[in-house]
Copies of this chain bind each other. A is one copy, B any other.
């Protein structure tokens, strides 16, 4: 008899896998160990919870523990932390609320996720300095910001997704916001054109933006009172550090499971790790990037869900690949929308063996004569010799992310720019110009090959 399917971590990858395995195999024992209280929640919604757009933290939960247990017949154990994996004996060591025990597995999924990076900055341990990664973080920040009203001046370290989304959330709560970003632009993975447009939007919304500014320390005694930069000390009474995430690989590493070049767990096309019967998925793994053919660590919700689901199907006896990624991402920045896909960074493109050419164009979100159209700026990157499309980004006030999906679809298919130019895309005056902005960008980029 096959041993149980054991899952470490009860969020996107883990619960998708458990649920899919249950649907495919009604009789197998499926055990999920989650070290916290929360499972299957939309962490991407946390900034909007802080903003007040979402009333209750519970609203971010897509399936409750009770539903998993009673409706899906999954043995979900919250407040159970896995302390170790033994790939020889095929067991995990689990610390439950009452005792520590060994659990044998037939198949194991490591879905340990990632953690917010806490950079080693002087004073980082001061009270009122937060990261935002899980439900407890969101709860603590909202309580601090909303319920006390003593937060008036927030410093945000890092101009990435979380920093930008939290700037919007905090401004909505009437808090003064300062963003400190080391690089010359915000949202670096989205490319320059997006960075510029979003910086302009942030300033228009009265966010103080400190670019090329390294935070050297935090001041304060009982709580944080200032952010030290090389030039000044900016007074704050709240700090949000959005310095990215790092994959939680300690368990895997200690078990002797292979860690990839990106620092995340290496897996094959079925999400299988270097250890027999051990899979990994979600924010703790690297995945194959369809453009470069190399592994990449892009911890996002869709690929975690998809890989979890695929592994659930695989362990049920019907092998299903976890899929490739092209690094597609979207973010709302106040009244702007930004999205990106593929390889935008020219250095990275060169490292992958390409000879990148980049073009940026500005067009409109609606036909020129149609009311209330907005500017929309498209960047496309392609390889000069093969003309293969490598990546794209878009920024504008409407119609952005789903236009990037067209580019992402092209990347998955290895389309060239001339092929992309020929796409029969939708047109009606309320929705875009006759030549969609992505086609205009392709025409301009196509011209630059000549």
Contacts and interface: CB of A to CB of B under 8 A. Distances in A.
Contact of A408 (B301, B370, B424, B429): B424
B44 A428 contact: yes
A362 interface: no
A413 interface: yes
Nearest to A62: B368
A330 interface: yes
Interface string A390-411: 0000000001011111101110
A404 B424 CA distance: 11
Contact of A402 (B330, B399, B439): B399
B401 A428 contact: yes
B424 A401 contact: no
A327 B424 contact: yes
A356 interface: no
B324 A422 contact: yes
Nearest to A331: B428
Interface in A298-320: 300-303, 305-306
Copies in the complex: 2
Contacts of A300: 427
A122 to B, nearest CB: 33
Contacts of A427: 44, 300-302, 328-330
Contact of A434 (B48, B302, B399): B302
A420 to B, nearest CB: 8
Contact of A45 (B330, B331, B367): B367
Most buried by B among A302, A367, A413, A428: A428
A447 to B, nearest CB: 10
Contact of A431 (B401, B410, B431): B401
Nearest to A342: B424
Given A305-B434, A337-B431, A424 B323 contact: yes
A436 interface: yes
A332 B424 contact: no
Contacts of A321: 422
In this complex, the interface size class of chain A, counting residues with CB under 8 Å from chain B, is 35 or more
Interface in A45-74: 45, 48, 53-54, 59-60, 62
B426 A401 contact: yes
A5 B371 CA distance: 37
A60 to B, nearest CB: 6
B412 A426 contact: no
Given A406-B409, A408-B423, A412-B424, A401 B48 contact: no
Interface in A319-355: 321, 323-332, 337, 339, 341
A415 interface: yes
Interface string A375-394: 00000000000000000000
B408 A405 contact: no
A54 B369 CA distance: 7
Given A405-B403, A415-B413, A426 B328 contact: yes
A404 to B, nearest CB: 5
Given A402-B399, A413-B415, A53 B431 contact: no
A42 interface: yes
A270 interface: no
A425 interface: yes
A197 B23 CA distance: 32
7 smallest beta-carbon distances between A and B, as pairs: A402-B402, A323-B422, A330-B426, A413-B413, A409-B409, A330-B428, A401-B426
9 contacts: A44-B434, A53-B371, A300-B427, A302-B425, A405-B406, A405-B425, A408-B425, A409-B413, A412-B424
Given A12-B434, A332-B430, A405-B423, 7 more contacts: A62-B368, A290-B424, A327-B424, A409-B413, A412-B419, A412-B422, A412-B423
